[in-house]
Chain A
Amino acid sequence: MSELPGDLMYTSEHEWLRREDDGSVTIGITDHAQAALGDLVYVELPEIGQVVETGGDMAVVESVKAASDVYAPVAGEVTAVNEALADDPEKINNDPYGDGWIVRLAPSDDDGGLLSPEDYQAILDELDN
């Protein structure tokens, strides 16, 4: 059973999103995603200032099993990236919703289309069957 904070929004591609007080959004991958990937060995981060579309490639996380794209849950401009992941990609494994955050965006089009914790849990339940 993976951890699923109730105050975040999710995508069917296993990203999470937190709306910050200053209007920005913080994005990472879910506990389920990090567990499925296994120990991460490399994270490729975008440049600050890069503009991403909703659903576009934003970062790459690589484990010993596989490399996966991280998609942007909303469109926007990258305002910060978690530099610490370059040396310690395992932060995502250890604390996916905290120290393991990946990108911060200034959203240009935050029009919903995101999943509530309940809806995302339903997707996880289906994957388990």
Chain B
Amino acid sequence: MNVQEKLDSTLFEQSRRGRRAFAQAPDVTEATDLPQALLRRDRPGLPEVSELQVVRHFTRLSQKNFSIDTHFYPLGSCTMKYNPRACNTLASLPGFTGRHPLGPLSHAQGFLSCMWELQEMLKDVTGMQGVSLTPMAGAQGELAGVAMIRAYHDSRGDHERREILVPDAAHGTNPATANMCGCKVRELPTTAEGDVDIEALKAAVGEHTAGIMLTNPSTLGVFERDIIAVDRIVRDAGGLLYYDGANLNAILGKVLPGDMGFDVIHMNLHKTFSTPHGGGGPGSGAVGVGERLLPFLPTPVVSRTLRDGEAHYGWLTERDLPQSIGRLSGFMGNAGVLLRAYVYMRMVGREGMRRIAEYATLNANYLQARLQDAGFELAFPNRRASHEFVVTLKREAREFELTAMDVAKALLDRGYHAPTTYFPLLVPECLLIEPTETESKQTLDGFVDAMIDILSQARDRGASFKEAPHSMPVRRLDDVKAARELDVRFGKTA
């Protein structure tokens, strides 16, 4: 082992028998009242290390993080905005963290009142009639949404409606969701201007149409201008409209998905309403529905009844909603994420919501205009950005072998997290850039300077960024080898 490897070794490798961390030392060392047959004979494979080793280990790991707390993080369609510390502080109050989910309802009235108000606020900001907070991630919210569409058609004896229309610009989760719900996916092309191809839509709808899944603004960073026509065509054909809330941040308090004609929406509360995310969880994919889908909401839903002028909160279960698609999580989803969203929404208020959308859009358009001036090619140069936009490096890749991946890696060396690369799939060599509302003009200008530096070094001085990054804990990873020879096991003897 060299010095770096010693520093990077796992706690298991550092373990020495009998070593203790005082703070974690158990109070009781012998479990005398357990039956002999249940006692283990061999020692558990837990690391035995000192408190200082633990502190150093995790501090060092955290220093390797490239995160929103340390760097600008313009990852497109991920809304990596600042998560106010107050949300975390208030969601961690002992009254919330000490609550047992199986405790009596009378002990949970405070928590439930927050959840009920959260449901109401989400209805208000999306123009929906009902909300269920139970899905535990965006993908589960999508599953709930399409399952409700299916349940709706089935409840009317309309069993032939099994086709879900998905634009080719969609997130991959949309077709995956439709598949998981037993539906057939029908892909819709996008016009050169970034809108859904209306003629193709007209040709695609029919008696088998269950619905359409749309993200608006789309993953191309533009607002679907023909949304009224889309609504009418799908509705006239007997289909329902599903709103993927991935890009809700762009229209918060400005346009209501309900007003655009959507029947069901999922919201990524962790993105739009402030929970640190990007590491795979925990999340919340709360769903909202219009009138037609109300009976099918997943359970449980928080209820409020007035007795003698006093509000009492409880749960609506399958007994109250017999047509519900059912339960999607134990208890009611990720309570901590829901509480953070509640605090965030209460802090920013109705006026603040509008300003979030305004500044997210302003920042994206400022960044887009500056990068275009600097010589970068936009995928949709005639369109105003919503909250994100797409740059294509097709020309740079062809003329001097500067690919989207090279730019992404070179940005890391300049102190910026990479934008989303190679998505949306229909734009070659693309970067999808979302600055969010919480970045300052100085930060955006610094990012533009870094982009100009990379472009001019490659174009004017023939510099290659194939080896970048140079300053990170790991250099350019061989992602092909990693995928072909996947090895995720930790071997003590390896």
Which residues on A are within 8 Å of B, measured CB to CB? 36, 39, 41-42, 64-67, 89, 127
Q: For chain B residues 456-475, which have a beta carbon within 8 Å of chain A?
A: none
Residues of chain A within 8 A (CB-CB) of B425 are: 66
Residues of chain A within 8 A (CB-CB) of B428 are: 36, 127
Tell yes or no: B5 within 8 A of A by CB.
no
Give 1 or 0 for each of B416-454: 1 = CB within 8 Å of chain A CB: 000001110100100000000000000000000000000
The reply to whether A41 and B480 form a contact with Cβ atoms under 8 Å apart is yes
- Measured CB to CB, the nearest residue on chain B to A57 is B185
Tell yes or no: B31 within 8 A of A by CB.
no
- Measured CB to CB, the nearest residue on chain B to A62 is B483
Q: In the complex, which of the residues A36, A64, A127 contacts B483, with contact meaning CB atoms closer than 8 Å?
A: A64
The reply to whether A66 and B422 form a contact with Cβ atoms under 8 Å apart is yes
The reply to whether B480 and A39 form a contact with Cβ atoms under 8 Å apart is yes
Nearest chain B CB to A29's CB is how many angstroms away? Answer: 15
The 6 A-B residue pairs with the shortest CB-CB distance, nearest first, are A41-B483, A39-B480, A65-B422, A64-B479, A41-B484, A66-B425
Bound Cα distance A67, B428 (Å): 14
Nearest chain B CB to A33's CB is how many angstroms away? Answer: 12
Residues of chain B within 8 A (CB-CB) of A39 are: 480
Bound Cα distance A94, B172 (Å): 28
- Measured CB to CB, the nearest residue on chain A to B395 is A128
Residues of chain B within 8 A (CB-CB) of A65 are: 421-422
Residues of chain A within 8 A (CB-CB) of B423 are: 66
Give 1 or 0 for each of B386-425: 1 = CB within 8 Å of chain A CB: 0000000000000000000000000000000000011101
Residues of chain B within 8 A (CB-CB) of A36 are: 428
- Measured CB to CB, the nearest residue on chain B to A68 is B425
Residues of chain B within 8 A (CB-CB) of A66 are: 422-423, 425
Residues of chain A within 8 A (CB-CB) of B172 are: 67
- Measured CB to CB, the nearest residue on chain A to B429 is A36
The reply to whether B483 and A42 form a contact with Cβ atoms under 8 Å apart is yes
- Measured CB to CB, the nearest residue on chain B to A65 is B422
**Contacts A36-B428, A67-B172 given; 4 further ones with Cβ under 8 A?**
A41-B484, A64-B479, A66-B423, A89-B484
Bound Cα distance A127, B429 (Å): 13
Nearest chain A CB to B57's CB is how many angstroms away? Answer: 31
Bound Cα distance A65, B423 (Å): 8
- Measured CB to CB, the nearest residue on chain B to A41 is B483
Bound Cα distance A51, B441 (Å): 58
Residues of chain B within 8 A (CB-CB) of A42 are: 483
Nearest chain A CB to B174's CB is how many angstroms away? Answer: 14
Nearest chain B CB to A122's CB is how many angstroms away? Answer: 17
Q: For chain B residues 470-494, which have a beta carbon within 8 Å of chain A?
A: 479-480, 483-484
Residues of chain A within 8 A (CB-CB) of B483 are: 41-42, 64
Nearest chain A CB to B405's CB is how many angstroms away? Answer: 9
Q: For chain B residues 1-53, which have a beta carbon within 8 Å of chain A?
A: none
Bound Cα distance A41, B479 (Å): 9
Bound Cα distance A42, B425 (Å): 18
Bound Cα distance A66, B425 (Å): 8
Bound Cα distance A64, B483 (Å): 7
Bound Cα distance A41, B484 (Å): 5
Nearest chain B CB to A129's CB is how many angstroms away? Answer: 10
17 contacts across the A-B interface (CB closer than 8 A): A36-B428, A39-B480, A41-B480, A41-B483, A41-B484, A42-B483, A64-B479, A64-B480, A64-B483, A65-B421, A65-B422, A66-B422, A66-B423, A66-B425, A67-B172, A89-B484, A127-B428
Nearest chain B CB to A112's CB is how many angstroms away? Answer: 22
Nearest chain A CB to B191's CB is how many angstroms away? Answer: 15
Nearest chain A CB to B295's CB is how many angstroms away? Answer: 35
Bound Cα distance A64, B421 (Å): 11
Bound Cα distance A64, B479 (Å): 7
Residues of chain A within 8 A (CB-CB) of B480 are: 39, 41, 64
Nearest chain A CB to B87's CB is how many angstroms away? Answer: 35
Residues of chain A within 8 A (CB-CB) of B422 are: 65-66
- Measured CB to CB, the nearest residue on chain A to B421 is A65
- Measured CB to CB, the nearest residue on chain B to A42 is B483
Residues of chain B within 8 A (CB-CB) of A127 are: 428
- Measured CB to CB, the nearest residue on chain A to B486 is A41
Residues of chain B within 8 A (CB-CB) of A67 are: 172
